[in-house]
Chains A and B, each alone.
Chain A
Amino acid sequence: MALFLTFFWGLLFSIGLSVSGMTQPTKVVGFLNFLGDWDPSLMFVMGGAVTTYFIISRIALKRSKPIASGSFQLPTRRDIDGRLVIGAAIFGAGWGLGGFCPGPALASLVTLDSNMIIFVMSMSVGMYIYGTLEARRAHDPDGGAGACETLASASTQDVGASAVAGVFADNVTPLSAAHRSDRRLPNDRRLPNVAWDANLKPAA
């Protein structure tokens, strides 16, 4: 039942992408290149999506747990680090160049258009390479402090924007700092980071 629902959200998501015009790179590039024949449609897509999410997520997060699963699995980080900014910059460059982001690209795969297939394959290679490097760095002590982050992130980054910070924790269930750190279960990278550093430093 839960899987069926997840399938349904994917379906609805992709219908939304298509209705809104996001499966047409022309419209994405037409928005991003505001010096050309500007197409502001993407602003309306974001406006509709963000407003809907903003309102309903407030209600959803008042619940103690989701309707069809045991707990909310939300990103808790709040710090802005280099990886976030550089990653977003690289992502944006690819998005502006190809007019595709991951959702529309996957939804468009069924057209069997060669551009869509090549894009999804390249994107998968990029993601796979990144994931493999991450896993390797996580197990390689020589990778230094940066590598430590990945211990936990490998398992949690997959929530999508695992980067997203804890508005949830602040607005919905105010907690003391100590209590909050207890709640940083697998989602938080900083906890293992500290332990890992502590183990490594004496050796160095």
Chain B
Amino acid sequence: MENFTPVASLIGGVLIGLAAVGMLLFDGRIGGVSGIFGGFLNAKHGDTAWRAAFIGGLMAGGLVMLMLKPDTMTFGIDRSVLSVVVAGILVGIGARLGSGCTSGHGVCGIGRLAPRSLVASAVFMSTGAAAAIVVGEVFGGKI
């Protein structure tokens, strides 16, 4: 557990929670990244500005952290291009089909005790663990 960062992770988690609940309190929306971004890609008339603003904010935050603490913005795992492509496609399709990702279901959904989100989060945690274990223990962390 040499990489364990309980304090930073807790503080970061609170910031994530504040941002997500800020979307609710001010905009009345669920702060789910896959929904906001997916809806942006399959845009409908008059429904893109706020999505673009949120995504722009995400990227601006990334830029801020890249300048302040670049070591928090590193990929750091051994994956082939094919693996990254497959992972991206699975995440994209799965998040839309399942109506949410770690932010929409994991934070906002569980935070509202929504039954669909509790189920979805349990499922993606399980298959996520299965995938990570197979990659880590069977393929030695390199795939």
Residue numbers in A under 8 Å from B126 (CB-CB): 89, 92
Q: How far is the CB of B67 from chain A (nearest CB, A)?
A: 10
User: Mask for B24-65, Cβ within 8 A of A = 1, else 0?
Assistant: 111111111111111101101001011101111111111111
The verdict on A92 contacting B50 (CB below 8 Å), with A44-B10, A54-B111, A125-B89 known, is no
**Minimal beta-carbon separation of A3 from chain B (angstroms):** 4
Interface size on B, residues (CB 8 A): 122
C-beta contact mask, A111-123 vs B, less than 8 Å → 1, else 0? 1010110111111
Chain B residues 86 to 124 lying within 8 A of chain A, measured CB to CB, are 86-117, 119-121, 123-124
- Flag whether A90 is at the interface (Cβ < 8 A): yes
CB distance from B82 to the nearest CB of A (A): 10
Shortest Cβ distance from B112 into chain A, in angstroms?
Answer: 5
Nearest Cβ on chain B to A150's Cβ, whole angstroms:
11
Inter-subunit contact A45/B57 (CB<8 Å): no
- Do B14 and A130 touch (CB < 8 A)? no
The A-B contact count (CB < 8 A) is 596
Pair A80/B115 contact, Cβ less than 8 Å: yes
What range describes how many residues of A lie at the interface?
Answer: 35 or more
Q: How far is the CB of B16 from chain A (nearest CB, A)?
A: 4
Overall SS of chain B's interface: helix
Give B123's nearest chain A residue, CB to CB.
A88
Instruction: State which of A27, A34, A93, A161 has its C-beta within 8 Å of the C-beta of B100.
Output: A161
- A74 adjacent to chain B (CB < 8 Å): yes
In contact, A14 and B57 (Cβ under 8 angstroms): yes
Closest residue of B by beta carbon distance from A124? B41
Q: How far is the CA of A8 from the CA of B55 in the complex (A)?
A: 10
Residue in B19, B28, B34, B69 whose beta carbon sits within 8 Å of that of A65 in the complex: B28
Which of B10, B84, B109, B135 is within 8 Å of A45, CB to CB?
Answer: B10
Choose among A17, A52, A61, A111 the residue that contacts B66 (Cβ–Cβ < 8 A). Answer: A111
A181 within 8 A of B: no
Contact B109 A161 (CB under 8 A): yes
Chain A residues, Cβ within 8 Å of B125? 32, 92
Give the chain A neighbours of B53 by CB distance below 8 A: 3-4, 6-7, 10
- Shortest beta-carbon distance, A186 to chain B, in Å? 11
Inter-subunit contact B99/A19 (CB<8 Å): no
A-B contacts besides A106-B33, A111-B74, 11 pairs, CB < 8 Å = A18-B12, A18-B61, A32-B129, A39-B4, A48-B10, A48-B11, A70-B28, A90-B97, A98-B79, A130-B97, A166-B114
